[in-house]
Structure formats: C-alpha cells, structure tokens
Structure 1
Amino acid sequence: MKQRIITAVIAGAGFITLIVIGDWPFTLMMIVLATIGMSELLKMKQMKLFSPIGVLSFILMWILLLPETILKSDWLHIDKLEMFLLLIIVLLALTVITKNKFTFDEAGFIILSSVYIGFGFHYFIYTRFLEQGLAVLFFIIILVWATDSGAYFAGRLFGKNKLWPEISPKKTIEGAFGGIILAFIVGIIYVSFVTIFNSWLITIFFIFIVSISGQLGDLVESALKRHYAVKDSGQVLPGHGGILDRFDSLIFVMPILYLVNLI
C-alpha cells in the first residue's frame, strides 16, 4: 500500500504538471505513454518488440497518434489515413510472404492495438490543445476518477449482483451505478466553478458518456488481460501495474467523446 501511494503521488504530480504546461512536454509525455502502452499489448501477445513486425506495429500506432503538425506527409503525397491503410496492406502481404509464420491473427491484433492505443492517446493530445482544452481535460480526468472511486466504494458497501463475472469477477451492478452517481456529483460541482458548456443538457450528457464509456474501457482491458492470462498489463508503475492499467478508461473515453462531437 505504501509503495502504491508513493507511486500515485509522484506519477500523479508529474502527469498533472505536464498537462498544465502543455505544448511539446505534454505531447512528448503522450508519445512515451502510448509507446509503453503499445509495448504492453505486444508483450501480452508474446510478440518481440524489436523485431521487424514489432517496429512496424509501433509505426502503425505512431501514425494514428501523432498530430498533423508533427507528422507531415506532404512529401509523400498521401495523408495519414492512406499511410495507415498502406501499412495494413503490407501486414496482410507479410502473412503470405512468411507462409503464415506471421499469421492473420497477429496482423489483426496489431491493427486493432494500434487503433486502440493510437487514437486513444491522439485525442488526449487533441483535447489539450482545444480553446478550453485544459479545463475540459481536467473535467474528463476528474469524472473518470470519480467513476472509479464511486464504483469501488459502492461495490464494497452495497455490491451484491455481479456486473460481468466472466470478464471482471469483482465488479458489481451496484458499483457501476455508484460510479455514475459520484461522477454526476463531482461533475456538477466542477462545472459550478468552471464553465465548460453553455447547456446543462449537454453537461449532463457529457458526464453520462464519460462515466459509462470509462467503465466500458476498464472492462475492455480486463477482457484483454483475462484472455491473455496476465494480472497486470505491465510493471512500469510499482503498485499500480502498467500504463494500460491506469489509462484504460481514459483512452477509451477520448475517441468516443470525439465521435459524439463533445470535444
């Protein structure tokens, strides 16, 4: 517990500081976190990080992660999406060239992982550099934290009905509702001091989407770990596991908020 608290304080302070600073230090932090997250997924799949396939996996993820201001592809006369699709074709061709030593299953895993990590952290960067980006990003982080905390304590106190025991045996329906309720309480307090939206209807919708999708993101990572029979995604954060163990909710929330036009 002591190690967990020390890690949380040090890592949390550094993380918040770089969010506030913004600019290239924040972007660099996101690139590092995304790269570690991708490496955790490749290790789950027991794929070598420094093999040609491993390097190609990182390149795929970086293409989706990096903003257009950093990743300029004008000289290639193709945009980021076209570059990503081209590398997918290369991956699929490798299944034939290697005579299935590199399998279709592995190609699919790499593509899905690069989208999961790349877009998740990309929209983290995207949100920070919006006009109200700092306030919005802190709002999202606080809502995810409130959801996690509310779910934990409500589950401990009132939890009787399992939410999805095949995926996460400890999570309960009561805990899930507790997370949503605390997210609303904390969210309403936050917007009472910091104006995010001009409409209460949009604010309520925003809180609901963040809380629900955050819990779904947590379940997605639990399903991954259960499938690959690992307790934690990594060991980079002593007492807390890996980067994906800490950012699973956030990187799932960010693209959803973008898709529903809330960021």
Structure 2
Amino acid sequence: MKQRIQTAILALIVFLPLVIYGEWPFTLFVYFLSTLALVELIQMRKLSGHVIPFILATALVWIILLQMPSGAIPGVWFTIIEAIVLIVVLLLGYTVLAKNTFTFDDAGFMLLAAIYVGIGFNYLIETRAAGLNYIFFVLFIIWATDTGAYFFGRAFGKRKLWPIISPNKTIEGAIGGVISACIVGVIFHLIYPFDFSMIIILGVTVFISVFGQIGDLVESAFKRHYDVKDSGKILPGHGGILDRLDSLLFVLPLIHFIHFVS
C-alpha cells in the first residue's frame, strides 16, 4: 500500500502540471504514454521480437494522434487514411517475409492494438483542448467510481460481477462506484458548472461511471486471456500504463460520440 501511494503521488506530480499547462508539452507526453501502452499490449501477446511490425504499429498510433483537420500529413504527399492503408499492406506483407512466425492473427492484433491505443489517447488530447473542466470532470468521475467500487465492494460485496474476468469485482461494488461518481459529479458541477442541466450531468456521470467500469473489465479480459497479472511494471504497485488508464481510454471517445465534449 505504501508503494502504491508513493507511486500515485509521484505520477500526479508529473501528470497534473502537464495536464494543466496543456499545449505541446502535454501532447508530447501523450505520445510517450501511448507508445508505452502499445508496448504493453505487444508484450502481452509476446510479439516483442518482431521489430518491423512494432515500428509500423507505433507509426499508426502516432498518425492517429496527429489530428490534422485536412487529413494530410505534414511534409509528405499522402493523407492519414492512405498512410493507414499502407501500414495495413506492409503488416500483411510482413507475414510472408516472417514465414508464418508472424501470422495473420498477429497482424490483426497489431492493427487493433494500435487503433485502440491511438483513438483513446487521441481523444485525451482533444478533451484537454476542449477545456480543463472536461478532462478533470472525467478523471474525478473515474477516480470516484474506482474508490466507491472498492469500499462498497469490501463492505457489502456478495454477488460477483464477472468472476471469469475479474473475480474480485462485485455487483454491489459496481453500484457503489456509480453512486460515488454521482456524488462527485454533482459537486463538480456545482463548483465548476457546465452548460448543461443537472439532469444531463447526472446522466453523463452514470454513463462515464458505467462505461469506465466496462473499460476496466476489457483490460482485465486482455490480461486474463494472455495470462498476465499487470499490463506492465512501469508504475510500482499499480502495474502499467494501461492498468491505470484503461477506463479513461475507453470513456473519452464515448463522451465525444454523445457530444458532451465537442
């Protein structure tokens, strides 16, 4: 527990100033985090020995993060979509060069991993650009959900939520997480009001809390499938980047889709 607290404090000391300042330092930090997250997924799949696919997948993540309104990539003649198509072709071509040590399934995994990581971190940049209130609102809701689920689960948890994927999570804990999130969401809106009614804020809060927990279960399913305890070891006591940001990466695209952030 002491190690977890120390790591959390150190991470906040690094993360919060970058979030508050924003602009290019925050963007560079997101590029760094997204690359680490991709490495964690590739290591889960045990594909670390395939350097060329890793370079291509990293390039795809970075291309997704570019967010160029015109779709063109600065300094080259092709668009982001054309670059993605090129990477797909190269990954498939590598399956031949690798003589089936890198399979079609592996190429599909690389593509989906890069898209999953790239889209999640892309919307992290976009949410920060929309305003500090949006990014902090989402972070507080997710933290409140995790905290509420933990304490409600320990105090009242009896029925397992999804034991095959995450044996420690309970239905009571999940409900407690949503309740905690709603309390925090209401308080946040009273202090830093959005241009929405309280009913809308409550609805969005429940939405974030529920899908944040689903995002956490998605990451747990990855780890269960690949038989690993944590996605990485970069954060002592917490695991990897994906272990800490799984809910955030899952939720951020969705709150843009429902036009809470635009």
TM range (shorter): over 0.9
CA RMSD of aligned residues (A): 1.7
| Residue 225 of structure 2 corresponds to residue 230 of structure 1 | no
1:202 Cα deviation from its structure 2 partner: 2.3
Partner of residue 161 from structure 2, selected from 150, 160, 163: 163
Show the counterpart of 2:13: 13
Q: TM-score w.r.t. structure 1 length?
A: 0.94
SS of 2:195's partner is coil
100-109 or 90-99: which moved more? 90-99
Work out the CA distance in 2 between the residues paired with 1:49 and 1:177: 42
1:28 Cα deviation from its structure 2 partner: 1.2
Contact 2:30 2:125 in 1 (8 A): yes
Percent identity reads: 48
Show the counterpart of 1:253: 251
1:93 Cα deviation from its structure 2 partner: 3.0
SS of 1:169's partner is strand
Show the counterpart of 1:55: 55
Gaps of 5+ in 1: none
**Aligned residue type for 2:47:** M
Partner of residue 202 from structure 1, selected from 200, 203, 206: 200
Contact 1:49 1:55 in 2 (8 A): no
Q: Deviations over 1:69-108 (max 9, x none)?
A: 8x95155443323321231122223324444332011011
Q: TM-score w.r.t. structure 2 length?
A: 0.94
1:53 Cα deviation from its structure 2 partner: 1.4
148-157 or 95-104: which moved more? 95-104
Show the counterpart of 2:30: 30
SS of 1:170's partner is strand
**Aligned residue type for 1:174:** E
Show the counterpart of 1:185: 183
1:14 Cα deviation from its structure 2 partner: 1.5
Q: Deviations over 1:191-247 (max 9, x none)?
A: 001012332232122111110110001000000001111101111011111111100
**Aligned residue type for 1:147:** T
| Residue 116 of structure 2 corresponds to residue 123 of structure 1 | no
SS of 2:167's partner is strand
Show the counterpart of 1:89: 89
Contact 2:141 2:181 in 1 (8 A): yes
**Aligned residue type for 2:218:** V
Contact 1:150 1:182 in 2 (8 A): yes
SS of 2:78's partner is coil
1:162 Cα deviation from its structure 2 partner: 0.5
| Residue 43 of structure 2 corresponds to residue 43 of structure 1 | yes
1:157 Cα deviation from its structure 2 partner: 0.6
Work out the CA distance in 1 between the residues paired with 2:173 and 2:81: 39
Shift of the 98–50 alpha-carbon distance from structure 1 to 2, 3 Å rule, reads closer
Number of matched residues? 260
